[in-house]
Structure 1
Amino acid sequence: MTVQDKQESPLQPDAPVLLDVDGAMTRLGRKEWIYIKILEQFVFDYSHFAETMGRCLAKQDRKGAERLTHKMKGAAGQIGAEALYVMAPALRQMVATQPTEVATGKLAEFEGLVKQTVAVINSFLVSKGIRTDLGFQPLGEPEMIPQAGLLESIRQHASMGRFSRIERIIDDLERKNCNYETFCVGMRKHIRAYDEAAIAAYIDRWT
Structure 2
Amino acid sequence: MHTLSDGSPLSKEQLWNRDAAVSRLGGNEGLLNRIVDMFLAQIEQKRELLKQAVTDSDLEAVRFNSHSMKGVAGDVGADAIRGKAATIELKAKQNNVNELHEDMEELEALIEQTIQVMRA
What TM-score does the superposition give when structure 1 sets the normalisation length? 0.49
Q: Which residue does the alignment assign to 1:71?
A: 68
Give the aligned CA root-mean-square deviation in angstroms. 2.5
AA matched with 2:4: E
Q: Which residue does the alignment assign to 1:98?
A: 96
Q: Per-residue deviation at 1:9? A: 5.7
SS in 1 for 2:16: strand
Deviations 1:31-83 (A, max 9, x none): 11111110011111113433211222333321111111111111111111111
Q: Per-residue deviation at 1:105? A: 2.4
AA matched with 1:86: G
Instruction: Note if contact 1:49-1:111 (Cα within 8 Å) is conserved in structure 2.
Output: no
Q: Which residue does the alignment assign to 1:112?
A: 109
Q: Which residue does the alignment assign to 1:131?
A: none
- Say if 2:4 is the partner of 1:23: no
Give me the identity figure in percent.
Answer: 25
Instruction: Select the structure that is richer in helix.
Output: 2
Q: Distance in 1 between matches of 2:80 and 2:44?
A: 16
Q: 2:40 aligns with which of 35, 39, 43?
A: 43
Q: Which runs of 5+ in 1 are unaligned?
A: 1-5, 124-207
AA matched with 2:118: I
Instruction: Note if contact 1:47-1:118 (Cα within 8 Å) is conserved in structure 2.
Output: no
Instruction: Select the structure that is richer in strand.
Output: 1
RCO (CA 8 Å, sep 6+): is it higher in 1 or 2?
2
Q: Which residue does the alignment assign to 1:82?
A: 79
Q: Which runs of 5+ in 2 are unaligned?
A: none
Q: Distance in 2 between matches of 1:95 and 1:9?
A: 22
Q: Per-residue deviation at 1:118? A: 1.0
Q: Distance in 2 between matches of 1:61 and 1:81?
A: 25
